[in-house]
Structure 1
């Protein structure tokens, strides 16, 4: 088996949960990071869904690519499918990513399925913040997920203005 790459743009960046040989900053063209998935398990419930990130079409997304040893491939892919496909709201795809330093690689990415019932269409930052501020699931409060993602992006020197806008409104709600 050959070594392969996995692209992370949300919690996979700060909690990959699998062994990897190396990680590099990476850019995926054709998709952008978006709080567009209603979470019924990890950051919310069916009765009070949270919001988690998905890759939506258009633009680009900066994140981390993790290189996985070929002999770990089945174990890692099984883990990723169990984690990311709990409600089949993501489409597993192989996409080209640009690694730091200009190298190009194929990576497994999880793209939002815009035809899935849990796909959140065109939420304003204020509406998204209301959902994030009030939801909690098996992995904890929804706002902790958004905060951890933003903190990791800031450590990488990456700005995500839309996610920052949502976080601003979450903080306003929490200060009341």
Structure 2
């Protein structure tokens, strides 16, 4: 077997596992959103960060990088063990078609693995759901975790998409909003207690992840 994994968030600029090939391209029917809670990398259970997930949208396309691992079963299993730990806040793995050419009707690769978070505020405790742009910007501007702050994740996402020449307007808009919040912070100190964190279940009920799985790749 050959393992293909699609990276649409931090996997674009920091895959973190050994792969044999990578391709620039896109998947259809999904859009990138910042509706996933992160409590172990860029945030905490008390003050979660917002990170990327994918949500269904019929006409949408999402550009990213597909990584191929074809060095045998042991190498594939090693990659999957790494990804399962890193992507532990995603509650679903799906299989998608991957396209390199925007004009092609035929996918370049089928059966590409993608980690996503289902938009279920009851069944998925890490799904934040949408929020007003300003609220999201303030949350991202102030959230910090064991491996860094939330805003750097967003700015890295913005830069990575620019580097592959496929900017995402929604990411640019959110990053600009965060920059506005940061510029105002010199006039008024922003604290995480000011921020409405979630439109569903209060985030204080999020449980810390098991010890030993915090990784520095997100």
Q: Contact between 2:20 and 2:71, CA under 8 Å: does it hold in 1?
A: no
Q: Please, which runs of 5 or more residues in structure 2 have no aligned partner?
A: 185-218
- Measure the CA separation in 2 of the matches of 1:144 and 1:137: 11
| 1:65-84 alignment runs, 5 A limit | 65-71=66-72, 72-84=75-87
| 1:82-121 alignment runs, 5 A limit | 82-85=85-88, 87=89, 89-100=90-101, 103-115=108-120, 116-121=124-129
Aligned-pair distance for 1:31? Answer: 1.0
- The correspondence for 1:159, drawn from 155, 160, 167, is 167
1:73-94 deviations in Å (ceiling 9; x for gaps):
1111111001101x4x331122
- Measure the CA separation in 2 of the matches of 1:90 and 1:149: 21
Instruction: Indicate the structure with greater strand content.
Output: 1
Q: Please, which runs of 5 or more residues in structure 1 have no aligned partner?
A: none
Which region of structure 1 is more displaced relative to structure 2, 100-109 or 51-60?
100-109
Bigger CA radius of gyration: 2
* Structure 1 segments of 4+ aligned residues over 6 angstroms from their partners: none
Aligned-pair distance for 1:114? Answer: 1.4
Taking a change above 3 Å as real, the CA distance of residues 66 and 100 of structure 1, as seen in their structure-2 partners, is farther
Question: Which TM-score applies when normalising by structure 1?
Answer: 0.92
RMSD: 1.5
Q: Contact between 1:27 and 1:98, CA under 8 Å: does it hold in 2?
A: yes
- Measure the CA separation in 2 of the matches of 1:118 and 1:19: 28
Q: Secondary structure at the match of 2:82?
A: helix
Tell me the equivalent position of 1:56. Answer: 55
Q: Contact between 1:125 and 1:162, CA under 8 Å: does it hold in 2?
A: no
Question: Which TM-score applies when normalising by structure 2?
Answer: 0.75
- The correspondence for 2:138, drawn from 130, 154, 171, is 130
- Measure the CA separation in 2 of the matches of 1:130 and 1:61: 25
- Measure the CA separation in 1 of the matches of 2:162 and 2:169: 11
Instruction: Indicate the structure with greater helix content.
Output: 1
